[in-house]
Amino acid sequence: MGRRSINTTKSGKYMNPTDQARKMARKRELKKNKKQRMMVRHAVLKSKDPKQILVDMEKLDQMEFDSAQPIRLNEKVLRDKRKKLRETFDRVLKLYEKEDPTLCDEMKRMMVEYERRRQQAITYFESVKHAQQVTVEDIPLPEQPDLPQNVSMIPLPSDIPLPGAQPHSILKKTSAYGYDRPPPVLLQLQS
């Protein structure tokens, strides 16, 4: 598709000078509108908070991967919302790549962290769903070891030490001669 001459129509006929001027003005206006649209998009992207976008994506994940409650929205709606948020985040990331590379690196780290948490949520959700499908009867019980009949796990009274047979406490003072010495008596002074 080559460039068409301004002074001819699509069919090749010669165009009126007034129409030529109108066509040129329309072309300039479209070019100006395109610049304005790009500036508006740029301003809107600058006003977006990447952290808030990630928070919104996490909220969608919580709605989708909450095993306690059924999904409130349709799966397709959630997928579309997540896709739009992801595209917005990517556009903001692309904008900051040119303007602030350090912020861009931080945003990339935040996205990696979000993806890691999302994978954990997916794994947990799938394991819970799988566990809900399993019946209790399907779970095998562990094998019990064979114990001889005469060995008991309950201690017998002969195994329990009696209170009088306990060894002397190391805190009690004994004399060097082997017998217990009574504690010293303190005399009270009369005033």
Does the pTM surpass 0.75? The reply is no
Q: How far apart are CA 92 and CA 88, in angstroms?
A: 6
What pLDDT does residue 80 have? Answer: 92
Nearest 5°: phi and psi at 180? -75, 135
Mean pLDDT, rounded, for 178-185: 57
Mean pLDDT, rounded, for 88-101: 88
Mean pLDDT, rounded, for 117-138: 84
Kindly give, in sequence order, each residue whose CB lies less than 8 Å from that of residue 4, ignoring residues fewer than 6 positions away. Answer: 10
Which of 65-79, 119-133, 149-163, 177-191 shows the highest mean pLDDT? 119-133
Mean pLDDT, rounded, for 110-122: 92
Question: Which tokens belong to 90?
Answer: 């990517």
Q: What is the CA radius of gyration of the chain?
A: 42
Question: Which tokens belong to 101?
Answer: 């590379």
Q: How far apart are CA 61 and CA 115, in angstroms?
A: 11
Half-sphere exposure of residue 167, counting CA atoms within 13 Å on the CB side? 3
Burial 148-179 (b: 16+ CB within 10 A, else e): eeeeeeeeeeeeeeeeeeeeeeeeeeeeeeee
Q: How far apart are CA 44 and CA 57, in angstroms?
A: 19
Q: How far apart are CA 126 and CA 147, in angstroms?
A: 40
What pLDDT does residue 15 have? Answer: 80
Domain boundary assignment for the chain: 13-47, 48-136
